[in-house]
């Protein structure tokens, strides 16, 4: 347990260092602060459960909250939190899981490269490391799990005003959880990958969204 918290502090330091380094290379006139909120569904990988346990293929809700800073029109970073509820399928023993994560991600806005897109459409890619926190509910509450993750995704934006856009995001979260040993520690728990699909809004807090 002590080794985990040491690693956790190490990852937090890396995330903080990432923001400081990128910030030092950014020009203030090109900076864009954005807040994001999205809600949707998730689909966990079947390999993340021990034999005998199976989740619904589609689960609700997934909720994402993030703060993003663009240091250039094309690139930036964001820090975001995600919450996902996972529940058992009909043939599986009853369980529910709260899957939370926090990630620091690089962001790349490919809109200027897509010259064929309509004026108000944007495409943004994002990827970066983070930590996943698994909290089983009910009878399996003791089988908590924490592991490193890397996620990547793509957002399709529609600019409603100069500072406000709606978007569709599809992301895949790669989990690096170890095997459950003994296997009973995996009852009602999860250590696999997660696909999420969300719709949300992005608000530019310091300037127009797609302006040069």
Q: What span, in angstroms and rounded, lies between the C-alpha atoms of 149 and 66?
A: 17
Q: Which residues pair with 124 in a beta bridge?
A: 109, 155
**Average pLDDT, stretch 78-99?**
98
Q: Which residues pair with 83 in a beta bridge?
A: 63, 100
Backbone angles phi, psi at 94, to 5 degrees: -65, 135
What kind of architecture, by CATH, is found in domain 2-204?
Beta Barrel (2.40)
Largest pairwise CA distance in the chain: 57
Q: What span, in angstroms and rounded, lies between the C-alpha atoms of 197 and 40?
A: 6
pTM attached to this predicted model: 0.84
- Taking residue 54's Cβ as centre, other Cβ atoms within 10 Å add up to 16
pLDDT for 209 beyond 80: no
Domain parsing of the chain, residue ranges: 2-204
Q: What span, in angstroms and rounded, lies between the C-alpha atoms of 142 and 118?
A: 51
Q: Calculate what percentage of the chain has a pLDDT beyond 90.
A: 75
Banded model confidence at residue 82, pLDDT cuts 50, 70, 90: very high
Return the pLDDT at 73.
Answer: 87
Q: Which two tokens stand for residue 205?
A: 């807090």
pLDDT for 111 beyond 80: yes
**Average pLDDT, stretch 157-185?**
96
Return the pLDDT at 81.
Answer: 98
């Amino acid at each position: 347990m002590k080794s985990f918290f040491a690693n956790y502090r190490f990852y937090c330091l890396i995330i903080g260092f990432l923001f400081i380094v990128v910030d030092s290379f950014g020009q203030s006139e090109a900076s864009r602060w954005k807040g994001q909120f999205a809600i949707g569904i998730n689909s966990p990988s079947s390999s993340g459960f021990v034999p005998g346990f199976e989740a619904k293929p589609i689960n609700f809700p997934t909720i994402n909250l993030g703060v993003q800073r663009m240091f250039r029109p094309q690139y930036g970073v964001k820090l975001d939190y995600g919450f996902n509820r996972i529940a058992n399928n009909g043939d599986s023993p009853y369980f529910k899981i709260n899957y939370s994560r926090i990630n620091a991600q690089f962001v790349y806005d490919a809109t200027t490269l897509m010259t064929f897109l309509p004026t108000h459409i944007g495409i943004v890619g994002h990827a970066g490391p983070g930590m996943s926190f698994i909290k089983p509910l009910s009878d399996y509450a003791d089988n908590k799990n924490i592991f490193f993750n890397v996620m990547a995704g793509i957002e399709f934006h529609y600019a409603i005003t100069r500072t406000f856009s709606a978007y569709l995001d599809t992301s895949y979260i790669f989990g690096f959880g170890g095997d459950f040993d003994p296997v009973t520690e995996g009852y009602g728990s999860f250590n696999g990958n997660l696909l999420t699909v969300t719709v949300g809004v992005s608000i530019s807090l310091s300037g127009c969204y797609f302006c040069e």
